[in-house]
Structure 1
Amino acid sequence: MQIRHKISLQFTCVVAIILLFFSGIVYLRAENQRSKNFFDRIQGRANTTARLLVDVQEFTPKLLKLLDMNSSSRLPNEEVYVYNFKNELLYSNIDKTPDYIDPTFLENIKKEEKVTLKDENREILGILFTGKYDRFVVVASANDLVGYSQEKNLVNTLGIGFLSGIIITIILSIFFAGQALRPIQSINNEISRITANNLKKRLDEGNKKDEIAELAVNFNRMLNRLEMAFQQQKQFVSQASHELRTPLAALKTEIQVGLEENQTIEEYKKTLKNTLNDTERLIQLSNSLLQLARTIEDKDKFHFEILRMEDILLNVQKAIQGNYPHYRIVFDFEKIPDDDNLTLINGNLLLLENLFSNLIENACKYSSDHQANILLSFDKIYCIVKIKDKGIGIPENEIAYIFNPFFRASNSIDKDGFGIGLSITKRIAELHKAIIDVKSKYLKGTEFIIKIPHQ
């Protein structure tokens, strides 16, 4: 079922319930008023008949019956009976006594003083009448032909109004639902024309105020992210292909040289050594690419736990100095924490060790003294790590690009590397909601400041 039909059905049901509720109230009020008015008329006729019979001596039962038959205020099928307290019939305007009048009914009237009941379409009233000298039981009844006819007309009117209201509601709800959902149909049409080759197309955001406009705005933001992701993916594939082509071409060349005849054993050894170096470089590049791809995965795939920052840094320091004994790493607290919790963070141990390893190794690699200084501090929100070196620095106009995959500063081309480490570092920081700031002076040194929210 389409949304417009669901909306129409739901709105029609609501209107139907409201119409039924108010129709019921109108009918009940009309029925109560009809019944009250008619019983008031019956009571008036009963009191008049009893007063004339009991209190006016000139009126005999015969004369009163004759007067009643010719009265213009006589009700349809009116019957009036007057009984004394011995349940003896003193007066009746007709010759028969109905079945509903029995001693029990009369005694109930004496007890309650006023009793009403309904026998099919006949309204029956029994009252206790107090005359000048005695009390009497008066039973009067009649058919409310006019009242029931008006009530029937009211029911027909309410029924016609209800059905008309439902039909009009269905028509209008379908129309207005279609009008309200027309922008969504327009959005669907625009979305159907967006493909991977046409990600620059954007949806019309309308007035940018209502929910549909908000949907278009959010969808456009998603398209912006998708377009950026596609561009990054294309750039990554292009750059990765370029980086892989170099060691592969070198391998091919070395193999071709090795296949040539008339080479000495030393020349073969040299060829194999070069092939081994190119293979190791290819393995390192492949590992770096896999590591970069892994950091792009969803954060939920990584196990996060409470870690202590100084332990992470000391582990990284120990690992790097184990692999590169000539590197010198100096670790210290810039500010001693009063509370141990200020250096606790929520993170993934392997990813964070990778982040700091990249930065510390770069600091040592690009410094003539191969030294990196690490300072740990904190504020109200972040645990702060500063990694400083006195190396070659980064040209000012290239600082904005250092986190791009495969980018290498112009003054670092002669150093080993692929330009992937800082891209991995940036992505790991994003996974931990961390902030990385870079300060660098060309040929004087670089400082990386990493701010990770503490616990």
Structure 2
Amino acid sequence: MQIRYKIAIQFTIIVAIILLIFSAIVYLRAENQQQKNFYDRLQARSNTTARLLVDVQEFTPRLLKLIDRNSSLRLADEEVFVFNFKNELLYSNVEHQANYISNSLLEKIRQEGKVTFNSDERHVVGVLFAGKFDRFVVVASATDKIGIAQKENLIKTLTIGLISGILITIVLGIFFASQALKPIQSINEEISRITAHNLKKRLDEGNGKDEIAELSVNFNDMLQRLEMAFLQQKQFVSQASHELRTPLAALKTEVQVGLEEEHSMEEYQQMLRNILNDTERLIQLSNGLLQLAKTIDEGEKFVFEVLRTEEILLNAQKAVQNSHQHYKIIFGFEMIPEEDNLTLINGNEVLLENLFVNLLENACKYSSNQQANILLSFDKKYCIIKIKDKGIGISTSDLPYIFNPFYRARNTNNIKGFGIGLSVAKHIIELHNGIIQVKSKLNLGTEFIVKIPHC
């Protein structure tokens, strides 16, 4: 079922319930008021009859009955009975005795002064009337035919109003729901035209104020992120293919040369060494690509725990020096922590060690003295790690791009590398809600500043 019809049905149900409640209130109030008015008329008729009979000597029961039958104020099927203190009938405007009158009813009227009730379709009122010399009980009853007809007309009117209101609500509900959902329909049509080949297309954001505009803005933001992700994926595939092509081509060439003609043992050994070097390069490149893909695609799967920053840095220092014994790394505190918790962070130990291993290896690799300095400090929000070297530095034109996958500065062409490490480092920092900054000058050195929030 379409949303417009769901909205129309829900709106109709709400309006129908409101109309039903309103109709019930109107009917009940009208019925109560009608009964009250009719009881008041019955009581007035009973008081008038009793006063004429008891207090006016000129009115005999026969004369009163004759006047009562010809009175324009007489109610439909009206019956009036007057009883003395012995429950003897003194007057009746009809010839028969009413079956709703009993001695217990007369006693109840004497005790309460006034009693009203319904007997079948008749309304009955009993009152205690005090004459000049005695007290009498007057019981009057009648059928409210006019009131019954009015109630039937009221029920018809309310029913017609209820049905008409529901039908009008259905029609207007569908109309206004269609009008309200029209922008969404337009959005759906625009979305259906967006494919992987035209992600640059954006939705109309309308007035930029209501919920529909907010939906369009959020969808456009999502398209922007998707476009960037597709672009990064294309660049990643293109750059990875380019990087893989070189060692694979070298491997193929070495094998072809080895198969084309006979060679000496020394030449075969040299070919095998070249193949080994190219294979190691392929392994390093594949590991780098896997590491980059893992930090991008599986960020939410890593387990985070409370870690001590200095321990991570010392482990990274040890790992780098074990792999490159000629590298020199000096660790120190730029600011001595007064409290233990100032160096505690929430993170993944493996990722953070990988981050600092990459930064330390780069610092040593691109420095003539192959030395890096680590300085640990902190402020109110972050643990701050600075990694400094006195290497070749990075030019101002290269700085904005050094975190892009496979990007390498122009002054690093003669040094082995793939341009993956800093991209991995950036993604690791983003997973930890941290910040990475770079300060560098050509031929003077580089400083990487890593900020990771305290626990």
Scaled to the shorter chain, the TM-score interval is over 0.9
**1:13 paired to 2:13:** yes
Larger deviation, residues 403-412 vs 102-111: 102-111
State the distance in 2 between where 1:112 and 1:299 align: 85
Alignment of 1:58-77 (within 5 A): 58-77=58-77
1:150 equivalent in alignment to 2:150: yes
- Report deviation, 1:60: 1.1
Which residue is equivalent to 1:43? Answer: 43
Q: How far, CA to CA, are the matches of 2:306 and 2:29 in structure 1?
A: 71
Question: Which range is displaced more, 433-442 or 256-265?
Answer: 256-265
TM-aligned CA deviation for residue 222 of structure 1: 0.3
Q: Which residue of 2 aligns with 1:291?
A: 291
**Secondary structure in 1 matching 2:374:** strand
Deviation of 1:149 (Å)? 1.2
How far did 1:300 drift? Answer: 2.1
**1:30-429 alignment, distance < 5 Å:** 30-429=30-429
The runs of 5 or more residues in structure 2 that have no matched partner are: none
Q: 2 CA distance for matches of 1:189 and 1:361? A: 52
Deviation at 1:58, TM superposition (A): 1.5
| AA aligned opposite 2:44 | G
| Whole-angstrom distance in 2 between the partners of 1:409 and 1:145 | 104
Tell me the SS of whatever aligns to 1:397: coil
Whole-angstrom CA distance in 2 between matches of 1:254 and 1:415: 23
Distance 1:395 1:118 in 2: 104
Q: Aligned partners of 1:227 and 1:29: how far apart in 2?
A: 66
Q: Displacement, 1:298?
A: 3.7
Cα displacement string for residues 181-222 of structure 1 (whole angstroms, at most 9, x for unaligned residues): 011111111111111111111111111111111111100100
CA distance in 2, matches of 1:341, 1:393: 35
> Equivalents in 1 of 2:446, 2:133: separation in Å?
122
Give yes or no for the alignment of 1:449 onto 2:452. no
Instruction: Name the structure 1 match of 2:27.
Output: 27
**TM-score normalized by the length of structure 1:** 0.99
CA shift, 1:319, in A, is 1.2
1:239 and 1:283 map into 2 onto residues whose CA distance is: 16
Q: 2:398 aligns to what SS in structure 1?
A: helix
Q: Provide the secondary structure at the position in 2 that maps to 1:438.
A: strand
Tell me the secondary structure at the aligned position of residue 397 of structure 2: helix
For the residues of structure 2 that align with 1:9 and 1:76, how far apart are their CA atoms?
Answer: 47
Deviations along 1:41-83, one digit per CA (max 9) or x if unpaired, are 1000000001111111111111111111111111111100001
Deviation at 1:435, TM superposition (A): 0.6
> Matches of 2:130 and 2:448 in 1, distance apart?
109
Residues in 1 aligned to 2:444 and 2:61: alpha-carbon distance in whole angstroms: 133
**Which residue identity does 1:2 align to in structure 2?**
Q
CA distance in 2, matches of 1:79, 1:274: 128
Whichever residue aligns with residue 180 of structure 2, its letter is A
Amino acid at match of 1:202: R
Instruction: Provide the rounded CA distance (Å) in 2 between the counterparts of 1:111 and 1:368.
Output: 120
Task: Say which SS state the counterpart of residue 306 (structure 1) adopts.
Answer: strand
Distance in 2 separating the partners of 1:138 and 1:295: 99
**CA distance in 1 between partners of 2:336 and 2:105 (Å):** 100
Report the Cα distance in structure 2 between the residues aligned to 1:449 and 1:269, rounded to whole angstroms.
45
1:59 match: secondary structure: coil
- Deviation, structure 1 residue 307: 0.6
Letter in 2 for 1:66: L
Match for 1:9: what amino acid?
Answer: I
Q: CA deviation at 1:299?
A: 2.6
1:120 offset after TM fit, Å?
2.4
Using the alignment, how far apart are the partners of 1:264 and 1:107 within structure 2?
140
Post-superposition shift, 1:24?
1.0
The share of aligned pairs that are identical, in percent, is 70
Structure 1 residue identity aligned to 2:435: I
Alpha-carbon separation, structure 1, partners of 2:22 and 2:338: 71
Q: Look up the SS of the partner of 1:346 in the other structure.
A: strand
TM-score between the two structures when normalised by the length of structure 2: 0.99
Count of residue pairs brought into register by the alignment: 455
CA drift of 1:146 comes to 1.3
Post-superposition CA distance 1:322-364 (Å, at most 9, x none): 1112111111111111221111111111110011111111111
Deviation at 1:270, TM superposition (A): 0.7
User: Which runs of no fewer than 5 residues in structure 1 stay unpaired?
Assistant: none
- Return the alpha-carbon distance in structure 2 between the equivalents of residues 4 and 14 of structure 1: 15
